[in-house]
Amino acid sequence: MTLTTFFNFTRIQTLPAALLSPIAGCLFAFWYFGSFHFWPTLLFFIGLASINLFVSAWNNLMDYQKALDPEYKKWNIIVAKSINPKLALNICLALLAIDVVVGLIVLFLTNLAILPIGGLCFLIAIFYTYGPFAFSRFPLGEILAGLCEGFFGFFLAVYINSYDKGYFFINFDRNWFMTWTWDFKILLPILLVGLMCFVQNFNIMFSDNICDLEQDIRNERYTLPYYLKIPLSLKVFAGLCILIAIALGILPIWSLLMSIIALKVIPNIKKFRAKQSKSETFHLQIDNLMLFNASLALTLLLGIIFK
């Protein structure tokens, strides 16, 4: 396998979009808590990159194995690039192993409280397209993808850099009695900003499945647009963008500058509502995700500099 084929198999071009939300999380932690932990953060991003590449590669492999539409299967990268399925599986397992090792080290460096979240994300990554009840074949895929890539990506980046503040923490006493602290006064602002990141990633998966609806039906994938139908799907898609404004009160005043991206985001939404095409308009939703996450990170950076 050539390096170019590997990059295409793992869809490495999607990595920058996946990293922007956690980057914003790191900046939020520094702005909100004045806290940054280099080594856990570095390892977290290594694990994040590994699991992101794994998910893309794993999805390609599972789509190849489960495809019912001959025309769709012909365009799968494993067929198009003549990749040995065993080699594809070994690559997936190697990327998954890297994430597990790095995740355990981060867990050791921080706190046990992140184990349930990390474990949930790990299971979703594997069973998103694997098994007879793969999440991507039901109207759960969009929500779970938004949670993992948007919400939990942001939350974990914040937490790894502020775990020592004790707002979400597991302690054991001498008798191994466990206490789990949940300080919602601190958690709520983080959750609200994380919700904004969730909405953006949900929109990406939602619009992707809107574009692929007919093809998905041929492959017996019944995603959320299948049940909502196209007209309602488009209304929900546009309406979710309103949630962006929820958490502005807990962001720096510079975050008001994020309203500028509406000049680009709204026209992109209108173009997608007018025509749902994977080749012509889907990229506009990726542009919106990049614009939102980049502007969030930038305004947080301005808040840090001019605090």
- pLDDT at 107 (0 to 100): 94
| 67-99 tens-digit pLDDT | 666 666 677 788 888 889 899 999 999 999 999
User: What whole-number distance in Å separates Cα of residue 204 and Cα of residue 29?
Assistant: 25
The residues with which 181 forms a beta bridge, in sequence order, are 169
Per-residue confidence at 242, pLDDT binned at 50, 70, 90?
very low
- pLDDT at 81 (0 to 100): 85
- pLDDT at 239 (0 to 100): 43
Q: What percent of the chain has pLDDT over 90?
A: 30
Mean pLDDT is lowest, of 57-61, 200-204, 299-303, for 200-204
Q: Work out the number of other CB atoms within 10 angstroms of the CB of residue 189.
A: 17
The residues with which 182 forms a beta bridge, in sequence order, are 168
- Could you tell me if 219 and 66 are in contact, meaning their C-beta atoms sit under 8 angstroms apart? yes
Q: What is the dihedral of CA 115, 121, 124, 125, to 10 degrees?
A: -120
SS3 35: coil
Instruction: Output the six-digit token pair for 264.
Output: 């680009």
| 2-11 tens-digit pLDDT | 888 888 889 8
Mean pLDDT of 258-281: 82
> Does the model's pTM come out above 0.75?
yes
- Could you tell me if 122 and 40 are in contact, meaning their C-beta atoms sit under 8 angstroms apart? no
- pLDDT at 277 (0 to 100): 83
- Could you tell me if 192 and 245 are in contact, meaning their C-beta atoms sit under 8 angstroms apart? no
First to last CA, the chain: 49
DSSP code, position 84: -
- pLDDT at 69 (0 to 100): 67
Mean pLDDT is lowest, of 40-49, 180-189, 234-243, for 234-243
Mean pLDDT of 254-265: 79
- Taking alpha carbons only, the member of 233, 246, 249 closest to residue 285 is 233
Inter-CA distances, 139 with 133, 224, 242, 289, Å: 11, 4, 22, 21
The phi, psi pair for 170, rounded to 5°, reads -110, 130
- The radius of gyration computed from the CA coordinates of the chain, to the nearest angstrom, equals 20
The residues with which 171 forms a beta bridge, in sequence order, are 179
